[in-house]
Amino acid sequence: MPDTSRPNGRGRKRNSETPSRSLITILNLVRKGTADTRQEIERTCELGRAVVADRLATLAELDLVDETKTGIATGGRAPKLVTFHRNAGCILVASLDQNSLSIGLADLSGRLLTEHHEAMELSLDPRGILDRLVKLFDWILARHTDAGTLWGIGLSVPAPVLTPSSETFLSATPSFLPGWEHIPVVETLIGRFDAPVWIRSSVETMTMGELSAGAATDVDTMLFVKVGKRIGAGLAVGGQLFRGTKGAAGLIGQLPVTDAGRTGPLEAMAGADMIQREGLAAAQDGSSSYLADILARMGELTPFDVGQAAQAGDPASMDILSRSGRMIGHSVAYLATMLNPEIIVLGGSVAMTNDTLLAAVREVVYRESHPLVTRDLRIISSQMGSSAALVGAATVVTEALFDPDLMRGWIVQGVPQTHPGFRAARDAAADRLTTTPAPPTPPAPSL
Amino acid sequence: MRTTTPAPAASHTISGLGPHGERASDPRRLVITASDAAAARAGGFRVAVVLHTLSGNWSEQHLAAIAGTLGDVSIPLLDVIDCEFDPDRQIAALDRLIAERPDAIISLPVDNTAVAEAHLRVARAGIKLLLLDNAPTGLLPGKDYVSLVSADNFGLGRTAAELMAEHLPQGASVGVLSYDVDFFATNQREIAFTKWMTTQRPDVTLHTAGFGAPHLAGETARSFLEEHSALDGLFVVWDEPAVPVLEQLEELGARMAVTTVDLGEKVAPRLADGTILKGVAAQNPFSQGVAMAQVTILSLLGRQTPAWIALPGIPITPAGILGGYQSVWRAPAPREIMEMRESRASGS
């Protein structure tokens, strides 16, 4: 953390009267790569040379920008490049899913430095899962002591997160899953790591992950559809996630669909539970010797097994995945017609397992959507796996930290922990922990 | 008091997840048909191999399997490069190979971050990239690389913990010597070992230290033992660094249960002896090499291949070393090891 008591390069004491607005503007220009020389910054911000030089000196002292590299000369002296110091701090990210726990460490540009995924059943004791998450965070920080100060934590969870819009920083854990109502996730993480926490649904984080590092980095409008036990959609417009009024946009899993005379919610009719149930029936009634063999060897059958069997050409499994894909396709066709996306990305454990489901979704969407919608529409499977949620969680944190309104509270001190709002949230979280004891945390970074 | 835990049995299940959370694909699903083989022979393909090291049985077995399986379909190896665990050497090798335009490069990335860009350049050059054991952070299957083939490293770490547990007294103190380089395989082993101990043997206290290179592990162990003199067990994340560690322990006269991963030629006699080294969670490098060659052939033929192909590990104890040796190395155990076991069995 920079020593904020020192005077800056011009000998003036930095205080709250420092024109933070221009600091914020310049930092975001440099961070996003919109301007990378002093001349470009002056031109873009319409600020004078002396002001830009002063602000850059301040940002350099805060360790947020770097001017040691030289650009390419275009006639005169080669300009100094102004680059964002993305290693000035780091971000912890984690993704809770139905069958896995993933963690990662990202730099301030949201780029993952490392990641780890392990099998875990979400139905287990929530306090045990939180304890495991804390241990993994301890381990990853101990392994990357050169990653800089921790600036924030991003969590991805497998359900909608309804966050109060009035709070800049979370001080309490929002409701997101049955059984987790009284588990102090946010409070524990703030207390343990002294950093602000953001939580988003996995559909939202995976959508942002695809925008940041996946199939949609150069796309304006994207529809992301997560297919697992639950089915949900994420929408990005203008490169930005659209969350809706209460953060509940894209809950298509509840939409009714009809198949073989039965009507029910999409995620019950076409999600991972249906695939597992139908796969088990096919294994037991003799319609799939392939699945029967897996069931006999493993003692259980997962949706992933059915997906792999379909990929290997098992007719019964292909039929199950096709039926799932067609039902999902009906719902997605409506969304596509309403939103006219450039690309639809299918993600989640089921969608990434095989091509059968993808082919069925494509067939229905191309057939049922308006021809103008499908003219240049691409429908693909995600290549990012669970990494999408981690990258997206890091993007959620960086976008929040560098939001001009929020940055105004910390930019002159150089680290977000100095934001008065975070300090208040930290105190409130600590108070809540005293009334709701957190699970025990280990003394050392052992796992 | 000793807490008895049943010795682990070999398993066909994969307990870990891939570098992007993928579920493992079974290598038995990689099938080269007669028509595939004919198409591969007619393709005129060329492949290069870039390994972290060429020394040791692990690399020899992989190379034998890769060269043999590719040779069966007349695909020549253009080059085989030893990176000596050096990221700069690997980056230079990849850039040189890109200029030679092979159809595919099989690479074991020596680091998660330092060599990521160089591997991306391979993919951008239109060369099929197949990864062994490790995927650099940020590279995606199907986009930046074709497939990753590895052991179930999470399962190997868990097995190493299970093998050690039966030799630990109640309230034992156990050391973990981990690899300081950010590397998928060794991270998985360390995490799995520690997770198993903390969940299955909560009475055990764990201490961790890291080494930056295999040849430095002996020094790390010495200073680690000075700090923690009463260790009952020690896990080293693979066999090559375990060798200098075992030498240090022998020199110091230390007595503790050591487990590691992989049955290299230098640890095999120590496992047969069984005085300090109590168990090895072994990979099956020949089978992994075959799987790697098969997935390379399928990708060259334009087939869709799984993101992550993983092979289960094999738990080997001193008593089971003869069978274990044959399973791992596809060869009878050396006479020295046979005699050591006979001597142990007869109690002499």
**C-alpha to C-alpha distance for A323 and A361, rounded to whole angstroms:** 10
Q: Which residues of A touch B211 (CB under 8 A)?
A: none
Mind listing the pLDDT tens digit for each residue in A383-405?
888 899 999 999 999 999 999 99
| Residue A15 pLDDT level (bands cut at 50, 70, 90) | very low
Question: What are the E-state strand segments in chain B?
Answer: 47-51, 77-82, 104-107, 128-132, 148-151, 173-179, 205-211, 233-236, 257-261, 277-282, 308-311, 314-316
Q: Which residues of B touch A100 (CB under 8 A)?
A: 17, 21
B198 lies within 8 A of chain A by CB: yes
Task: Calculate the alpha carbon distances from A79 to A28, A38, A84, B63 in Å.
Answer: 20, 8, 16, 50
Q: Are residues B229 and B86 in the same domain?
A: no
Closest in B20, B188, B195 to A387, CB measured: B20
Fold (topology level) of A20-84:
Arc Repressor Mutant, subunit A (1.10.10)
Mind listing the pLDDT tens digit for each residue in B165-187?
999 999 999 999 999 988 889 99
Mind listing the pLDDT tens digit for each residue in B226-246?
999 899 999 999 999 999 999
Average pLDDT, stretch B211-222?
Answer: 93
- Alpha carbon B26 to chain centroid, angstroms: 17
Q: Are residues B199 and B327 in the same domain?
A: yes
B/e letters for B27-37, b = 16+ CB within 10 Å, e = fewer, are: beebebeeebe
Highest average pLDDT, of A45-54, A167-176, A325-334, B133-142, comes from: A325-334
CB A217 within 8 A of CB A209: no
CA angle, B34 then B38 then B40, to 5° = 115
Closest CA to A267 of A246, A280, A251, A243: A251
| Residue A3 pLDDT level (bands cut at 50, 70, 90) | very low
Q: pLDDT value at position B57?
A: 84
**What is the rounded average pLDDT for all residues in chain B?**
92
Q: pLDDT value at position A297?
A: 80
What is A217-383's CATH number, 3.40.50.920, 3.90.650.10, 3.40.30.120, 3.30.420.40?
A: 3.30.420.40
Mind listing the pLDDT tens digit for each residue in A291-324?
998 898 878 898 988 988 888 789 999 999 999 9
N-terminal to C-terminal alpha carbon distance within chain A: 27
Closest CA to B151 of B72, B238, B68, B64: B238
Q: Quote the longest CA-to-CA distance of chain A.
A: 83
| Residue A378 pLDDT level (bands cut at 50, 70, 90) | very high
Q: Are residues B108 and B208 in the same domain?
A: no
B304 lies within 8 A of chain A by CB: yes
Q: Which residue ranges does chain A devote to CATH 1.10.10.10? A: 20-84
B141 lies within 8 A of chain A by CB: yes
**C-alpha to C-alpha distance for A206 and B20, rounded to whole angstroms:** 13
Q: Which residues of B touch A386 (CB under 8 A)?
A: 17, 20-22
Q: pLDDT value at position A111?
A: 92
Q: Are residues B131 and B169 in the same domain?
A: no
* Amino acid symbol at A83: T
| Residue A240 pLDDT level (bands cut at 50, 70, 90) | confident
DSSP single-letter state for residue B140: -
* B13 is a domain residue: no
| Residue A12 pLDDT level (bands cut at 50, 70, 90) | very low
A136 lies within 8 A of chain B by CB: yes
| Secondary structure class of B334 (helix, strand, coil) | coil
Mind listing the pLDDT tens digit for each residue in A200-211?
999 999 999 999
CB B231 within 8 A of CB B174: yes
Q: Are residues B209 and B228 in the same domain?
A: yes
Question: Could you tell me the residue range of the domain that residue B203 belongs to?
Answer: 153-282+315-340
Mind listing the pLDDT tens digit for each residue in A203-238?
999 999 999 888 888 898 999 999 998 999 999 998
Q: Which residues of B touch A384 (CB under 8 A)?
A: 20, 140
Closest in B12, B154, B208 to A118, CB measured: B154
Q: Which residue ranges does chain A devote to CATH 3.30.420.40? A: 89-204+388-435, 217-383
CB A186 within 8 A of CB A172: yes
Q: Which two tokens stand for residue A11?
A: 């000998």
A110 lies within 8 A of chain B by CB: no
Q: pLDDT value at position A19?
A: 66
CB contact under 8 A, A385 and B138: no
* B10 is a domain residue: no
CB A354 within 8 A of CB A320: no
Closest in B142, B154, B187 to A383, CB measured: B142
CB A354 within 8 A of CB A346: no
CB B72 within 8 A of CB B78: no
CB A177 within 8 A of CB A157: yes
Q: B87-100 vs B116-124: helix axis angle to the nearest 10?
A: 10
Q: Are residues B323 and B241 in the same domain?
A: yes
CB-defined contacts A:B, below 8 A: 88
A131 vs A181, which has greater pLDDT?
Answer: A131
Q: pLDDT value at position B229?
A: 86
Homologous superfamily assigned to A89-204+388-435? ATPase, nucleotide binding domain (3.30.420.40)
**C-alpha to C-alpha distance for A144 and B17, rounded to whole angstroms:** 22
Closest CA to B264 of B328, B343, B310, B335: B328
Q: Are residues B306 and B330 in the same domain?
A: no
**C-alpha to C-alpha distance for A372 and A340, rounded to whole angstroms:** 8
Comparing alpha-carbon positions, the chain A residue that sits nearest to B176 is A446
Q: pLDDT value at position A350?
A: 79
B153 lies within 8 A of chain A by CB: no
CB contact under 8 A, A114 and B113: yes
User: What pairs with residue B277 in β-bridges?
Assistant: B258
Residue A11, pLDDT above cutoff 60: no
Residue A16, pLDDT above cutoff 50: no
- Name the domain count of chain B: 2
**What is the rounded average pLDDT for all residues in chain A?**
88
Q: Which CATH number do you get for residue B157?
A: 3.40.50.2300
* B18 is a domain residue: no
Q: Which residues of A touch B16 (CB under 8 A)?
A: 118-119
Q: Are residues B98 and B162 in the same domain?
A: no
DSSP single-letter state for residue B2: B
**C-alpha to C-alpha distance for B328 and B56, rounded to whole angstroms:** 14
Average pLDDT, stretch A142-149?
Answer: 90
DSSP single-letter state for residue B169: B
CB A384 within 8 A of CB A347: yes
Q: Are residues B158 and B293 in the same domain?
A: no
Residue A442, pLDDT above cutoff 80: no
Q: Are residues B264 and B327 in the same domain?
A: yes
User: What pairs with residue A91 in β-bridges?
Assistant: A106, A152
Closest CA to B328 of B281, B274, B286: B286
Q: Are residues B260 and B278 in the same domain?
A: yes
Q: Which of A90, A97, A102, A117 to mutate to test the interface with B (most CBs of B within 10 A)?
A: A117
Q: pLDDT value at position A13?
A: 42
Question: CA torsion sign, B295 to B299 to B305 to B308?
Answer: positive
Q: Are residues B126 and B175 in the same domain?
A: no
Q: Which two tokens stand for residue B74?
A: 């007349």
* B20 is a domain residue: no
| Residue B159 pLDDT level (bands cut at 50, 70, 90) | very high
Closest CA to A373 of A347, A402, A413, A334: A334
Q: What is the reported pTM?
A: 0.88
Q: Which two tokens stand for residue B151?
A: 């052991």
